[in-house]
Each structure stands twice: as C-alpha cells, then as structure tokens.
Amino acid sequence: MLRPMVFRQRVSPFSMKPGNISMAAAELSGAVRDFMGHNAFQWLSERLAAPQWQYWALQLSGWGGYTLLIFVGSFFWVENHWLHSGYIAVATSSGVMLSECMRRCFQRLWNKPDAARLFGTLGVVILAALVWAAIKFGGSLWLYGKERDEHPAVLAIYWFSYSFLIMMTWAALYYGIKYYQTSQTQQEKALRAESMAHQAKLKMLRYQLNPHFLFNTLNAISTLILDKQGRTANDMVSRLSQFLRYSLDNDPMLKVTLAKEVEALMLYLDIEKVRFADRLGVSLDLEGESPRALVPSLLLQPLVENAIKYGISQCEWGGEITIKARVFAGELLLEVSDNGPGMPEDKLAALGSGYGVGIRNTCERLRALYGEEQKVRFRNRDGGGLAVHIRIPYETGRTG
C-alpha cells in the first residue's frame, strides 16, 4: 500500500523580499542592543554598589581627568606628540600606583591617634611626592634634556612642589570621602538602633495585656464549667484563643484597617458578653471612608476594656458602649463612649498619663507613632458616662 507523499515547503531567507529582510534585521539588532544595554547597565550598577568598585571608579576617573588636562594643556607646544603621550602615560601610571600605595598606608593609619595619623599621613604624602617628582623630572630630562637655563635644584623643587600639591589633594579627597562614609555609617547605625528601640518600645506597650481581663475571663470559664455549661465554656475558650492569636500574630509596627480592628474588637466583646450577657450592649457607627482608614492594631481594645471596667460593670442594669468613626479634613476621628457613671474630675485629668495601664499605653503608642499629629481627649458626657476622643491622620494603603 502506497503512502501519500507530503511535500513541505521550506522558506529560505534569500526568498524574502529585501524590505522584509531589512525590517527583520533592524528589529533583531534593536532587540540585541536593548538586551545588551540593559544587561550592561544592570551589571555596572551591581558592581558600583561595592565600595571597592566605587574606589576604583573614582580613582581611574580622577587620574583620567588629570591625564586629559595635561595632554590638552601641552598639545600646542609639544613637537613630538607620540613621545610626549608616552611620557604622560608613564607619569599617570606611576601616579596611580603611588596613590594606591598611599591608600594602603592610610588604611593602616586610620585607627591611630589623631597626631600619629596626621604626621604619618604627611610623611606618606611627602615620600610619594618625592618618588613621583623623581620619575617625572628624570623622564623630562631624558626626553627633552636641559632646554632651559634654570638650575636643576630649582627644577627639582618645582617638580616636588607640583607633585606634593597633587598628592596632598588626593589625600585630602581620600580622607574627605572616608570621613563622609564613616559618618554615614555611624548615622545609619544610630538610626537603626533608634528604630529598634522604638519598635521594642511599641511591642512592649502592645504586649502588656491587662491581667485583669485574663483573670476575669478564666474565672468566667471556670464558673461555666462548674455550672456544667460545657458548650458555653468551650465557645468562650475558642473566642479567647482567637483573640490572643490575633493580638500576638499582628506586628505592632504595622497598621490595620479600622474594619479589621473592629473585627478583632468583636472577638473581645464576644468574650465579655458571656460574662455580662444582656447587660452589655454595643453600638457601631462607622461613617463613609472610615472603615478603610489605617489604625494601630488593638487600638480600641484597651479603651473598650476601660469602659467595661469603670462604666458597664458599675451599673446594675449594665449599659451600652458606642464606637463612632468618621473622616474629616484629612483626619480620622474616633470616639469610644459608654453610658456609665463617668469618672471624677481628678481621675479624669490623670487618664493617659499615670492612671490606667491600658489607657496610658494607648496614649504612648499614639505619641510614638504620630508625634504631634495625634490628639487624645477624655471627657464626661452630659447624659452620664465617659467619652474618649482620638484624632489621628487619615491613612490608607498597605496593612499588616
């Protein structure tokens, strides 16, 4: 049985039209050029990030500029340009090697006392200037001979002064850059240490959970178990574990949306509602864009805990906690209030500074995070109860 023959047509580049070939070649060369240019720039950026490469980039750029300046300055009065270019190349190469030797000496002198470093640096510069002046002076006499009437000692002093000025300039630039880098490093270390201390302080304030809350919760769970209300006790343990997990998992340096903060607050309130049953009511009023606002995690819990402890628990028939939030003039305005008995004026004045660990930690966290851009105010409501007003900048974006 014969198989059908299949003919495949192969397209040769020579069969393409000249216009298509030129377009393809242009696109290919452009893509190769872009690829090579991007890779070369990335490679150069990575290399220049290292201090050693930065040094050699400055070293070669500086001596290259010196070479170009000498060549251009002597171009019109030199007869044999090839011979003079070789002389400049030798002078520049010796200058690079001598400056590299100076750098190694300066590194050894860096940690010495100030006087030793000063006189040691001056000695190294003088020695390098003497060697460089001898090389250039000897090369000049060998190439051009004694064409002027000046005494050799005068010429030697001239070459040494010139070489000393160049080497001293190099040394001054080296120490200037070295001192600047050291200052930047110390400043970065100080800022890093300050930031670490700042974070440690915030974490300490965040993790100072009120033992009174844990004691009351565990006591309520124990009571439920004794009353053989196992299902309710299990629910309360589950809610407590969720709340503690949230409080420990969230980084206090990161902020969460107000909506997420309220969700965490409801975990806490669900625990308290088991204790207070119908005696505890909660009212939420989050207006407009306020749920999207970023706030420090567990900001509201100490305020609500304070309202329960000094407000709701003091009333025989319980009470209600109201949480309000709105955005106004680029700021987030928060209010946590209760309809309890309120507080005496002397204790009210001490809130936020020395009275109440949770309230004081909240105020210190806000001061650490926002500085002068925050405000916390406490007042007794006209109809009874205490109100806490918080004003912080309105922020949206990345959350924890």
CA gap 272, 246 in Å, rounded? 17
- Range list of H helices, the chain: 18-48, 51-73, 81-109, 114-144, 152-206, 211-226, 230-249, 258-276, 301-310, 345-350, 357-370
Q: What is the pLDDT of residue 361?
A: 78
> For the packed helices 258-276 and 211-226, what is the interaxial angle rounded to 10 degrees?
50
In sequence order, the 6+-apart residues with CB closer than 8 A to the CB of 53 are: 47
Six-digit token pair at 167? 């080497």
CA gap 143, 352 in Å, rounded? 85
3-class secondary structure, 83: helix
Q: What is the pLDDT of residue 82?
A: 74
Q: What is the pLDDT of residue 9?
A: 43
- Contact between 374 and 389 under an 8 Å Cβ cutoff? The reply is no
Burial label, 71 (beta-carbon count in 10 A; 0-12, 13-18, 19+): middle
CA gap 389, 354 in Å, rounded? 18
The CATH classification number of 207-393 equals 3.30.565.10
| Torsion 234-251-399-326 (CA) sign | positive
Q: What is the pLDDT of residue 215?
A: 77
Phi-psi group of 194: left, alpha or beta (phi > 0 → left; psi -120 to 50 → alpha; rest → beta):
alpha
> Where exactly are the structural domains of the chain?
45-202, 207-393
- Contact between 261 and 299 under an 8 Å Cβ cutoff? The reply is yes
CA gap 63, 88 in Å, rounded? 11
Six-digit token pair at 3? 């198989």
Q: What is the pLDDT of residue 44?
A: 66
Six-digit token pair at 231? 């299902």
CA gap 243, 237 in Å, rounded? 10
Phi first, then psi, for residue 329 (nearest 5°) are: 55, 45
Residues of the chain falling short of pLDDT 70: 1-38, 40-41, 43-44, 47-49, 75-81, 143-150, 193, 195-213, 250-253, 352-357, 398-400
Q: What is the pLDDT of residue 233?
A: 85
Q: CA separation (Å) from 68 to 74, 152, 347?
A: 10, 27, 78
Q: What is the pLDDT of residue 354?
A: 53
* pTM of the model as a whole: 0.52
Name the β-bridge partners of 319.
Answer: 280
Which residue has 């290259």 as its token pair? Answer: 64
